[in-house]
């Protein structure tokens, strides 16, 4: 005895590799497939369609196969409405709840497809029924597990869930098309930086927002002035960083050093190792970064430009922080929520030499958000790009070279 289900794929399933991936999933998990209908798009903009029957030895095996196929964009023919189960308690999800990918997702509710709002990976999906008193339509949206409230209607299982991974039509171009070959330090950096600059300028021209995720190395490598310029000129709208980045930046404005090292001469002045803690002390005394700017204590740097140009910033703390600064969010859950709010507003994200903060932001991004990752370590770039964004490019280079050149190209344009 075997069990079977019929699934469909449609879109640019050949160029995107979706069809090949789905065939591989079925075979790797011990199932079989029978292609019942296959229509090939006859030109580069045309979409293709495939309907196939998937068989397995038992329901558990078939369920596992269908789960994987769902993640790759295969949809059940004649899908049922999503199964909804009430959360049994605060922060408690029902057994078998659906855990999201970061791809655009819909759930079927009352025979209609509801787009899932604020999609990100590793969340639950909650459906809020229509409110007859206020004429509010039904909604589906993600919730992290610690935000689940008792009684929330949580989507269980993959049935009634549709995932649509971003596709790549043949002939796609631009910085998020031609870089599909992976990560390499040997690509021409000048032309790639110009392509990235064009993508940023296009995002801004379309009314989008650019988020910079920055590590302390940005200041230490001498790129602080260039990043400050990008904020001042309106090419960076938001900043996500840690306590260390802000301290390095503020210390440079106060003493010309970054963690005690002169950024210009690369020398360590006498007692320079104390500069960062002196800086923290003065910012605490002022009441915070914005207060320090208002009092004239801080007159330059990235944090200064953020305050002066109303560019919101999130400083997420860690166990190793000195001080920390009053602006640093030391509650991990609160910091996650602040990062999540920024990430949902971003249309393009530039990740600059910070693995941990970039991973934190990347976890909150839908796969459709454009991502640029720059680091001197190719393993860091690869790890970040492997987290699921379909529109990501990586560049292995020193941020001390990349950011000034990027600022130069953008301001020239």
C-alpha dihedral over 328, 373, 174, 203, to 10 degrees? 0
Local confidence pLDDT in tens for the 413 residues of the chain: 789 999 999 888 887 788 899 999 999 999 999 999 999 987 777 889 999 999 999 998 998 998 889 888 898 888 899 999 999 999 999 998 999 999 999 999 999 999 999 999 999 999 999 987 777 899 999 999 999 999 999 999 888 999 988 766 555 555 565 344 455 555 557 888 999 999 999 999 999 999 999 999 999 999 999 999 999 999 999 999 999 999 999 999 888 887 766 676 566 666 667 888 999 999 999 999 999 999 999 999 999 999 999 999 999 999 989 989 999 999 999 999 999 999 999 999 999 999 999 999 999 999 889 999 999 988 888 887 776 566 788 888 999 999 999 999 998 76
Burial label for 356, CB within 10 Å (0-12, 13-18, 19+), is exposed
Domains 1-78 and 189-412 belong to one CATH topology? no
Longest CA pairwise span in the chain (Å): 80
Nearest Cα to 355, choosing from 236, 228, 242, 223? 242
Q: Which one of 3.10.105.10, 3.30.1960.10, 3.20.20.70, 2.40.420.10 gives the CATH number of domain 79-166?
A: 2.40.420.10
DSSP 393-408: EEEES-HHHHHHHHHH
Domain ranges of the chain: 1-78, 79-166, 189-412
Q: Which one of 3.40.50.300, 3.30.70.2690, 3.40.50.150, 1.10.3720.10 gives the CATH number of domain 1-78?
A: 3.30.70.2690
Q: What CATH topology corresponds to 189-412?
A: Rossmann fold (3.40.50)
pLDDT value of residue 183? 59
Residues 162 and 104 sit within 8 Å (Cβ to Cβ) = no
pLDDT value of residue 180? 46
What's this model's pTM, rounded to 2 decimal places? 0.85
Alpha helices in 256-398 (DSSP H): 275-286, 289-294, 302-308, 332-345, 355-362, 378-385
């Amino acid at each position: 005895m075997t069990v079977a289900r019929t699934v469909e794929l449609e879109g640019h399933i050949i160029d995107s590799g979706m069809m090949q991936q789905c065939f591989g999933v079925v075979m790797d998990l011990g199932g079989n497939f029978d292609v019942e209908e296959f229509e090939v798009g006859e030109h580069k903009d045309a979409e293709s369609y495939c309907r196939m029957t998937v068989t397995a030895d038992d329901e558990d095996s078939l369920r596992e196969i269908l789960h994987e196929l769902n993640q790759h964009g295969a949809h059940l023919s004649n899908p049922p409405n999503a199964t909804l189960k009430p959360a049994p308690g605060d922060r408690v999800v029902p057994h078998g709840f659906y855990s999201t990918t970061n791809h655009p997702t819909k759930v079927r509710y009352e025979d209609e497809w509801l787009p899932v709002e604020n999609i990100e990976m590793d969340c639950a999906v909650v459906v809020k029924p229509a409110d007859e008193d206020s004429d509010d339509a039904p909604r589906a949206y993600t919730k992290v597990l610690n935000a689940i409230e008792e009684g929330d209607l949580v989507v269980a299982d993959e049935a009634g869930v549709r995932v649509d991974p971003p596709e790549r039509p043949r002939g796609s171009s631009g910085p998020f098309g031609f870089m599909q070959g992976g990560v390499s330090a040997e690509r021409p950096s000048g032309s790639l930086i110009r392509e990235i600059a064009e993508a940023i300028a296009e995002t801004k021209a379309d009314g989008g927002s650019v988020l910079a995720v920055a590590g302390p190395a940005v200041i230490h490598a001498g790129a602080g002035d260039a990043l400050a310029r990008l904020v001042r000129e309106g090419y960076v709208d938001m900043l996500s960083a840690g306590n260390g980045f802000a301290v390095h930046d503020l210390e440079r404005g106060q003493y010309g050093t970054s963690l005690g090292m002169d950024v210009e001469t690369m020398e360590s002045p006498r007692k320079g190792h104390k500069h960062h803690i002196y800086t923290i002390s003065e910012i605490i005394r002022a009441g915070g970064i914005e207060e320090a700017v208002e009092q004239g204590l801080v007159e330059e740097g990235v944090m200064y430009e953020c305050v002066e140009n109303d560019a919101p910033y999130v400083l997420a703390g860690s166990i190793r922080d000195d001080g920390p600064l009053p602006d640093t969010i030391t509650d991990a859950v609160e910091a996650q929520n602040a990062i999540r709010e920024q990430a949902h507003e971003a249309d393009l994200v530039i990740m600059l030499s910070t693995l941990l903060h970039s991973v934190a932001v990347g976890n909150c991004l839908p796969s459709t958000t454009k991502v640029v990752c720059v680091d001197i370590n190719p393993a860091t770039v690869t790890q970040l790009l492997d987290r699921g964004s379909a529109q990501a490019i990586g560049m292995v280079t020193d941020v001390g070279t990349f950011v000034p050149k990027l600022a130069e190209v953008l301001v020239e344009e």
